[in-house]
Amino acid sequence: MEMNDMVIISVDDHITEPPDMFDKHLSAEDLKTAPKFDTDENGKSFWTYQGMYMPSVGLNAVVGRPLEEYGMEPNSLEEMREGVYNVDARINDMNVNGVAASLNFGTCVGFDGGRFHKAPDKALSLKHLRAYNDWHIDEWCGAYPGRFIPCAILPTWDMDATVAEIKRIAAKGCTAVSLNENPTKQELPSVHNEYWNPMWKAIAEHDMTMCLHIGAGNPVPHASMETPIEAWITTMPMSSAVGAADWLHLSALHEYNLKVALSEASIGWVPYFLERADFAHSRHKFWTHNHFSGMLPSEMFKKHFMLCFIDDAYGLKNLDELNEDLIAYECDYPHSDTLWPNCPDHLWGDIKHLKQQQIDKITHLNAMNWFNFDPFKHIKKENLTVGALRAQAAKDGVDTTPKSCGGASPLAKGEEPRRITSGDLMRMFQHHGEQGKKIAG
């Protein structure tokens, strides 16, 4: 097997939503009150909704920009590759990157639809959340059948509405939902509360996968305001361990065959996590009264949790410590971690030592199985290989030349270059937040 023979499905990419997102899915007053896209006096893009201000954070969409210009300063659509927000251009960028299919999370609405949860008028939130799902499933994913795995969001503040939405999106062919890993952050009951029982049942009945994306619930901690920001970035994937441990003890796992994907969590830390879970259970089960239906915690984890990675050579060297049937690749386009347009090249360097069957599982078969998704129903397999897609991109003249848009540093104007800290970013976000309140208010 050669690199160009791979079929790659990415189970974690992102969309910066286009300004006309709701136009075809709402009308009259519902459209008037929907989230609104705008541009500030400095040309930076933002959305407003029910008094909230949502800027476009730099690292969320730096794909195609020189590494020297990475940063978290808010940016505009004009500073992004068109594929970040335009589905036709996205297909071109997937082709040039050799990616056959992609699951996409939202940005302005939050990975988990958190903006709708924070909004005070929940009747409006429900209407607009449903419209977002319609846009995502019918318009974005529907534009290119076989190239996208639809992933919806749910109105979990209302359990009856949540169950109804699961049924509605399932009828549209959606097989994945994105959830907050810690709903107490949304002032909802914890996942261990009976409040969630109707959702577990509906999810299981419709064989949906629940995606828990880092940063949606449990925050990625930083040690202090003086801590260099790279320390925070380093710990991002490992922060998933908190939610993973919590969900591993979910009673519903004993009752239903639930499927969970730890999106953007990576895999290298998991072998020790499982070892520790088994050890803790062996030492403490007699007084904690925990049980895993006759299994070890590690066995329960390997049954219900898919691991998703961007670049993890160490984890791939330790597949024997994991379930190779529940490991999938992610590109993370257009975030700062993405290796676009060279994802296949990096991936091949990490997996070429594996057997062909293992490579096929990790690159696409596991994703197809876990998300009930078959791209080959729409497009011949030979047309979805890395080689075929890149050949199509070359034919279409897809340009991958880095696009310079100037610096994006949170340092004060004229300040000498120095290490960026967590405090620098907090102050920058506070400044933009105060500006945003004036705009949204």
Kindly list the distances between the CA atom of residue 76 and the CA atoms of 37, 334, 431, 433, in Å, as whole numbers in the listed order: 11, 14, 17, 16
Between CA 344 and CA 337 the distance in angstroms is 14
Whole-Å CA distances, 261 to 138, 159, 264: 23, 22, 9
Helices (H), 352-402: 356-360, 366-370, 386-396
Length of the chain: 441
Give domain limits for the chain: 3-440
Integer Cα distance of 86 and 90 in angstroms = 6
Which pairs with CB-CB distance under 8 Å and at least 24 residues apart come from 88-92?
Answer: 88/143, 90/15, 91/144, 91/147, 92/393, 92/396, 92/398
**3-440: CATH topology:** TIM Barrel (3.20.20)
C-alpha–C-alpha distance, residues 381 and 344, integer Å: 17
- What letter represents residue 363's amino acid? T
pLDDT for res 376: 98
Contact 405, 210 (CB under 8 A): no
User: Rounded distance, CA 398 to CA 392, Å?
Assistant: 9
Question: Would you state the pLDDT for residue 39?
Answer: 86
Give the separation between CA 309 and CA 355, rounded to whole angstroms.
19
**Token digits for 108?**
């302005």
Write down the pLDDT at residue 403.
Answer: 84
Summary mean pLDDT of the chain? 92
Kindly give the confidence (pLDDT) of every residue in the chain, 441 residues in length, as a single tens digit, with 9 standing for 90 and above: 999 999 999 999 999 999 999 999 999 999 999 999 998 887 888 899 999 988 876 557 789 888 887 776 667 888 889 999 999 999 999 999 999 999 999 999 999 999 999 999 999 999 999 999 999 999 999 999 999 999 999 999 999 999 999 999 999 999 999 999 999 999 999 999 999 999 999 999 999 999 999 988 888 878 888 998 899 889 889 999 999 999 999 999 999 999 999 999 999 999 999 999 999 999 999 999 999 999 999 999 999 999 999 999 999 999 999 999 999 999 999 998 999 999 999 999 999 999 999 999 999 999 999 999 999 999 999 999 999 999 999 999 999 999 887 655 666 666 777 888 888 877 876 766 666 666 656
Q: What is the pLDDT of residues 121-137, one digit of tens each?
A: 999 999 999 999 999 99
pLDDT of residue 395: 98
Helix, strand, coil in percent for the chain, rounding step 5: 45, 10, 40
d(CA 382, CA 366): 18
Distance of alpha carbon 411 from alpha carbon 409, whole angstroms: 5
For residues 366 and 255, give the distance between their C-alpha atoms in angstroms, rounded to a whole number. Answer: 23
3-state per-residue secondary structure call for 391-431: HHHHHHCCCCCCCCCCCCCCCCCCCCCCCCEHHHHHHHHHH
